[in-house]
Structure 1
Amino acid sequence: MKKQVVVFAALMFCGSAQQAQTSTDCLVAQYYFNQGNANDDIGPYHGNAVGATLVPDRFGNPNAAYYLSGAPGSYINLGTTSVLKPTSGSISMWVNIADTVTAGSGYYINPILLTKCQQGPSCYEAYCIYYDISSSKVVAACTQLPCTQPSALTNSTVNAGLWHHYILAYDSTAIKLYLDGVLQDSVAKGFSSFFLAGDSVMIGNSASVSNNRFFNGTVDDIRFYNCVLSSAQVTGLYNEASPSIGINDPGSTVKKITVFPNPAEKIINFSETADVMITDTRGREITAGQNTNWTDISLLAPGIYLVTLSKKHVITGRGKFIKE
């Protein structure tokens, strides 16, 4: 038992060390949604969540991420400030795609994040991150008028129902797209980004008459930087620990569930039937299931894991177990 406690403490220290490596030097806005709204955590650039539902984040913390339904009236508007529109910058965000949305018109995409460079019907994305329905890949792009649009793509298709970390980094030289801490694509840019004054930075809605598309999924932990992040900073953001990793802290309103056997090698059972999410001690989702009271852990690496049970997006309990 003493050895297990020491191991857990070491893992917690590693998570804290990784969190300390995340960049704040050129951070200009941060939207973690942990206060139950879309306010900027470090400044005055508050957003407005419209038709969006607060749900558990990737760590299982309640009411700490926003679910967008894929309807026209479900989005987050981060406002028109030029602070979110640097000519050289990085945007970091966690995204869990729920399903593709074919409603709407125009480009066959689901917009995750975008702001415009002009009011025309096409080639208007000053920067954007979107899910391409045809290829099932996530794409990041910038536009030079009249219609030059270099785009960076994920190396493989992105499956629905899982949390992924994306970073778009751009300057006048290149566009880079990272997925879960790994560089996916770097393409030449060759121009300085231009932005449409008075246009909002939108999450989940293309805000265009001709290309009218929407997004169905959950977004969280959005950060804007006025610099291009290094690969080490990208890794630090991907490995960032949960702000409430201590699930058994005094005063917690979420009940502790029973996980048995514990330690375990192959199968673990829970004291109630619910949707289950298993994460490592850094909050990264390992596996998930629906309406169950057990799960197979035989393929997991030995270590300490966290279990979060929920029903209809409401957390009903949390626990820990040791995989032998």
Structure 2
Amino acid sequence: MTLKKYIVPGRLLFALLLAAAIISSCKDDDVKPDYNANKTSLKQLTDSVSLVYTQSPEGHDLGQYPKQARSTLKEAVDLATTVTTGEHTQEQVNNAFANLRRAIVDFNGRKIEEVAAENLIAKWLFNGNTLDATANHHDGQLMSGIIGTAASHSDGGVLPILTTDRFGQTGNAYEFANGAYVEVPYATSLNPEILSISLWINPKEAFSNNYILSLNKWNGFKFQLQTDNFLFMTLKTGSATYDRDSNPGKMVTGEWHHAVVTAGNGAITFYVDGVQVKTESASGTAFKLATPVNLAIGQLLPKAVFNYTDTTSPFYFSSASFFKGSLDDIRYYNKALSSDEVMKIYNNEKPD
């Protein structure tokens, strides 16, 4: 998978209803309708679109089509077939032709393709592993993490475990608990000036330090959930450090939701299930780390850098901060995704 309720475009829905109405009922006029219509073009288009429908793969991977998109196209094909095989006026035939032509254009636009591929730094699909699905090789490693406090800390002793994803498929997402996380080796490309994070999230419980993604926490950026399950982003720029939340947009414990944050372009913007819920100013671009620190998915920091004694250290461990729940299909970009791009990702990846 790469990572779904599809709304029929208004013009297509109108055409379907109009054509259906024309087919199902005719006016009771004194003049008998002329059913001697030329159906050649409609028949050719119907055959062509039927072939496209038959050969189009259904699913949520690149090159596939969402189930709802195929269902909508099938309705248009069936309607056109009814017209080609029955007695209908030329106007009705022409309407069916125009409707089917619009339907195939809309369908072609629903093919799942990579969004902003040229700006995609990494993509962790979690399909049984933590490999980067791009050609950039930012592969992650399953790690156990630190829990407790500075005075009484220990290794949680567990790794993230494979779990069921939002489609009900086993082994296609990771569950995080007891400090477990995924660590990705630092690279300058993972520290862009402008960034976007897109992912699917299913929190197990709500608490203040539910860390999702962190690059040296507030010395770089950190993306997390707060106590009330609002998304929360901390971004350090050349001029200041900004804390922003997604209130009123929030996650729901025990449910899968799509979450996106964009930052570094003068604002921090949050999206929930494809819809922009909040944007606030944040001047400057993302800070370039002076000291390389590995990216942590599901933890505050990689456990190797924690300091437990020096409270002035940027790596001081005051208390455990890790994610509790499941994550899937994480995309990391070096641009601020547009609202259209976010909606495209959501439509591509949402369950049917």
* TM-score, scaled to structure 2: 0.58
Q: Is the 8 A contact 2:214 2:296 kept in 1?
A: yes
Structure 1 residue 173 displacement after superposition: 1.0
Which of the pair has more CA radius of gyration? 2
Greater share of strand residues, 1 or 2?
A: 1
2:298 to 192, 204, 208: 204
Distance 1:98 1:164 in 2: 12
CA distance in 1, matches of 2:206, 2:69: 41
Distance in 2 (CA, whole Å) between partners of 1:82 and 1:90 is 16
Contact 2:238 2:286 (8 Å CA) reproduced: no
CA distance in 2, matches of 1:138, 1:57: 20
Q: CA deviation at 1:95?
A: 0.6
Q: Distance in 2 between matches of 1:212 and 1:40?
A: 27
Match of 1:192 in 2: 285
CA contact (8 A) 1:22 1:240 kept: no
Task: Provide the rounded CA distance (Å) in 2 between the counterparts of 1:15 and 1:153.
Answer: 34
- Distance apart, 1:11 and its partner CA: 3.6
Deviations 1:1-22 (A, max 9, x none): xxxx999672487598162373
Matches of 2:133 and 2:166, distance apart in 1: 19
Task: Give the counterpart of 1:171 among 242, 264, 269.
Answer: 264
User: Is 1:83 aligned to residue 189 of structure 2?
Assistant: yes
1:54/1:45 CA distance change after superposition, 3 Å? same
Q: Are residue 219 (structure 1) and residue 319 (structure 2) matched?
A: no
Alignment of 1:122-141 (within 5 A): 124-133=218-227, 135-141=228-234
Amino acid at match of 2:267: A
Q: How far apart, CA to CA, are the structure 2 residues paired with 1:159 and 1:139?
A: 15
Equivalent position of 1:10 in the other structure:
70
Q: Assess if the C-alpha contact under 8 Å between 1:18 and 1:239 holds in 2.
A: no
Match of 2:206 among 97, 100, 106: 100
Distance 1:91 1:149, change over 3 A: same
Quick one: which amino acid aligns to residue 95 of structure 1? Answer: I
Deviations along 1:14-70, one digit per CA (max 9) or x if unpaired, are 598162373312112111012x2101111211111220001121112221111001x
> Residue 39 of structure 1 corresponds to which residue in structure 2?
131
Q: Which amino acid aligns with 2:173?
A: A
Paired with 1:189 and 1:137, the residues of 2 have a C-alpha distance of 18
Q: 1:213 to 1:23 in 2, by over 3 A?
A: same
Q: Could you tell me which of 211, 217, 238 is aligned with 1:111?
A: 211
Q: For 1:236-255, what aligned pairs fall within 5 Å after superposition?
A: 236-241=344-349
Equivalent in 262, 265, 273 of residue 180 of structure 1: 273
Superposition RMSD on alpha carbons, in Å? 2.6
1:283: which partner in 2?
Answer: 351
Match of 1:68 in 2: 176
Secondary structure at 1:39 match in 2 = coil
Q: Is the 8 A contact 1:130 1:139 kept in 2?
A: yes
Indicate whether 1:153 and 2:261 are aligned: no
Counterpart residue type for residue 84 of structure 1: L
How many residue pairs get aligned? The number is 224
Partner of 1:254: none
Greater share of helix: 2
Q: Any conservation in 1 of the 2:115–2:344 contact (CA below 8 Å)?
A: yes
Match of 2:41 in 1: none
TM-fit CA distance, 1:138: 1.7
User: 1:40 and 1:8, CA in 2 relative to 1: closer, same or farther beyond 3 A?
Assistant: closer
SS in 2 for 1:19: coil
Mapping for residues 19-30 of structure 1, pairs under 5 Å: 19-20=112-113, 22-30=115-123
Contact 1:68 1:217 (C-alpha < 8 Å) held by counterparts: yes
What is the CA–CA distance in structure 1 between the aligned matches of 2:241 and 2:216, rounded to whole Å? 14
